[in-house]
Amino acid sequence: MPDPSRTAPAAGAFRSTSRRWVLASCLVIGAITLATIAWLTYDIDAYNRGYAAAAPGTTGTVSSSVTRHKAPDRITVRWWDGNYHEQRFVVGNADAYPVGSPLALRIGRDGRAYPADRSRIEETDDLVTGVVFAAIGFTVAAIAFGWRAVRWGRAARAPARRHLGRVAYSYGKGGLIGSPWLVFDDTARSSTSG
């Protein structure tokens, strides 16, 4: 019976496994990224359509102005069209909107209010930032997985060598559960695998 510690893996086993793993990972991350970007873009387009269709000419009054240190500032605006309505807006600096100050609004068909001056309050900024970060995240992930695939490909083509392996155990708090580790010593450096 052959010694398992001296049996070399089949040629190309690591290469095909790593390629499948990298491809599947990139496909999953790509699908999530595209779905996220599509969802954010749809929200941006819906907001722009609602803003364009909203009727200008309404003036609201700031009824609440809140400055928060660990979150974006918020203001609450109230307006009257036969009934009182209130809506919150995220702003860069709540101090610029003191309570009682007027704010020009556009009112949509669904009753939603939009700031008339989008140079002061732009509610799609966070959505655009989300699109940018999703694209950057996918690019970084693709580069990282690609580099890992290159390293695995090089390792798979490297000549096989025999190493002496030994099993070691690491225990958590209380020493109840042991995790086995296989340690290989090639005299130049040691590597471990769980």
Q: Which of 91, 96, 88 is nearest to 121 (CA)?
A: 91
Tokens (6 digits) for 55: 């009727």
pLDDT digits (tens, 9 = 90+) for 39-88: 999 999 999 999 999 999 999 999 999 988 888 899 999 998 888 999 99
Mean pLDDT to the nearest integer, 136-154: 84
Which pLDDT score is estimated for 81? 84
Question: How many CB atoms sit inside 10 A of residue 96's CB?
Answer: 13
Q: Check residue 169 and give left, alpha or beta (phi > 0: left; psi -120 to 50: alpha).
A: beta
Q: In this predicted structure, which of 20-24, 74-78, 135-139 has the lowest mean pLDDT?
A: 20-24
- Six token digits for residue 51: 């803003």
How far apart, in whole angstroms, are the C-alpha atoms of residue 152 and residue 158? Answer: 10
pTM, two decimals, is 0.63
Q: What is the DSSP letter of 6?
A: G
| pLDDT for 6 | 47
Q: 56: which 2 tokens?
A: 């200008």
Choose among 113, 130, 48: nearest CA to 79: 113
User: Can you give 57-101 as a three-state secondary structure string?
Assistant: EEEEEEEEEECCCCCCEEEEEEEECCCEEEEEEEECCHHHCCCCC
Collapsing DSSP to helix, strand or coil, 152 comes out as: helix
